[in-house]
Structure 1
Amino acid sequence: MRSAIYGAGSLGTVMGAYLSREGVQIDLINRNHAHVDALKKSGAHISGTVEMTVPVSALLPEDMTGRYDIIFLMTKQLNNRETVSFLKNYLAEDGVIVTLQNGIPEDSVAEIIGPEHTIGVTVEWGATMTAPGKSVLTSDPDSLSFHMGSMPGISENKIEEVKELLEKMCPVVIENNLPGARWSKLLINATFSGLGTVMGGTFGDVAHDPEARNLAASCMKEVIDVGRAAGVTFAPVQGKDLVSLFYWSNPVKKAIAKLIMPIAMKKHAAIEPSMLQDLKKHKPCEIDAINGVVCERGAREGIPTPLNDRIVKIIHEIQEGKRKPSRENLKELELCPNP
């Protein structure tokens, strides 16, 4: 069975190291020449909450040959149509693309290769690339997990094949409610990645800062309101019912949500938002695939999303060089009406 990680950046390098260490023959594919050269020469060096250096198979997209049974897609959604169309030429007849991207990417992938070739996975951990060939795992090793669900037409055998591969790294939860799993991950990303990028901090910075934490509670409520209006039942994340923990309808419940936030984020506090990582490298980020999805679906369902709208606006302005990530940006968000 041939497998590959396409877009082996911060997360993909960590995942590739874990799988390669366990004897999985997997290609780590990335467009960054320096990164691929470092992986070939010295292996994948993973630090942070773990420490290991693992020899890996790495190559550039133009060096790909043959067809793969499983391709783990870990690029940003920005160029999904172009990327998936390219990968289609390297997919085995019964192969699958497993999208581990942020947001709600399954439909855009399935539109090109078909739902019978599309599996969705949410990644419940974080990492930061610090140099070519080097990535920092920012979540505690005992808090790593994947949540996986499939589109119609995927065989049980193929689901099991993918599950067995991912379990070489950490536990895998099979989701019968893939949209609910995606929206639960979107709830976390829109809140902690969105606000973390706005203020230039980590998930922990959001959870521990009183002003940011207050905004986070409001952001969560907006996302839950939109998801519910769209008919979504939010799935548990690592055994935790996020709606029960964080949804509020009065000041007392909001105060409780804010109180437990630092505890809930403790094992993931060091995660630096991928959007912030991109902006620091002067690369476009995928704000429109995260908070932007909440805004777009809110408009469709008639649910106001003033806070998410403003987060999108601020991050676009950071991307355009009109402002910088800063805690000062929180003041503008505080002007948004409470949900």
Structure 2
Amino acid sequence: MPRSPSDEATALHPTDESLAPAAPRDDAAALRLAVDALSPVMPIETTDDFAGAQWTKLLVNHVNALPAITGLSVQQTIADPRLRAVLLASMKETIGIARAKGVHFAPVQGLDDRLLRFVQRAPRILAQLVPRAMARRMGSTPNPGSTLQSIRRGQLTEIDHLNGAVVVAAATLSRPAPVNATLVTLVHAVEHDHRFRTPTEVTAALHSRR
């Protein structure tokens, strides 16, 4: 079956759970066996809207870029008002692009279509409650995120398939995605020179692109 444009423009990179498309009736028993086998080692969700789930998961994974750029944990980046504003701006930008492509966000890890539409429309003082809640769900143990873990191992990151996927999707609409593009550029810069950026440097880079 051909992939939809939204499928091609996004990549699913699970962090602490996996998503599986709901199976046709003939395959439902096999899917149930797979879910039962994997559930003891990782949380599993099934969905009837795989493209919508991919986009929601992409937004969940937006927390990865700033730790990779700054060397801080996810919780620390969200606690910093400057970095939280950058994260929120990247989420708003992504939601707008996804909606322009006709995406309906499927529920994933506490995010769903109604909540994400609220994030896009609400003023920052209210919308920032969502990333704050995402940080609380992670608990008190510092979470570096998968992208920072790759940086620490000296490996290339998956950023082109995360925020970079948003930039690609925006291009198919002839729209810019300056926030996500800046985050991609900064992650690649850290990959290259192994120097973490300060929150001030992050915001300065963002303002120079907008």
**TM-score if structure 2 supplies the norm length?**
0.81
Q: Per residue, is there more helix in 1 or in 2?
A: 2
Name the larger-Rg structure: 1
1:92-107 to 2 correspondences below 5 Å: 104=11
Structure 2 CA distance for partners of 1:278 and 1:154, relative to 1, 3 Å: farther
Residue in structure 2 matched with residue 204 of structure 1 by the alignment: 75
1:151-300 to 2 correspondences below 5 Å: 155-169=27-41, 171-189=43-61, 191-241=62-112, 244=115, 247-249=119-121, 253-268=123-138, 270-300=142-172
Q: Per residue, is there more strand in 1 or in 2?
A: 1
Unaligned segments of structure 2, at least 5 residues? 1-9
Unaligned segments of structure 1, at least 5 residues? 1-102, 106-121, 126-144
In structure 1, how many angstroms separate the alpha carbons of the residues matched to 2:188 and 2:18?
30
CA RMSD of aligned residues (A): 2.7
Identity rate of aligned residues, in percent?
25
**TM-score if structure 1 supplies the norm length?**
0.52
CA contact (8 A) 1:287 1:312 kept: yes
Structure 2: which amino acid aligns with 1:160? Answer: R
CA contact (8 A) 1:199 1:327 kept: yes
In structure 2, how many angstroms separate the alpha carbons of the residues matched to 1:124 and 1:282?
19
Q: C-alpha deviations, 1:107-132, integer Å up to 9, x for none?
A: xxxxxxxxxxxxxxx7463xxxxxxx
CA contact (8 A) 1:147 1:173 kept: yes
In structure 1, how many angstroms separate the alpha carbons of the residues matched to 2:83 and 2:144?
15
Q: C-alpha deviations, 1:65-107, integer Å up to 9, x for none?
A: xxxxxxxxxxxxxxxxxxxxxxxxxxxxxxxxxxxxxx525xx
Paired positions, count:
198
1:10-89 to 2 correspondences below 5 Å: none
Q: CA deviation at 1:310?
A: 0.7
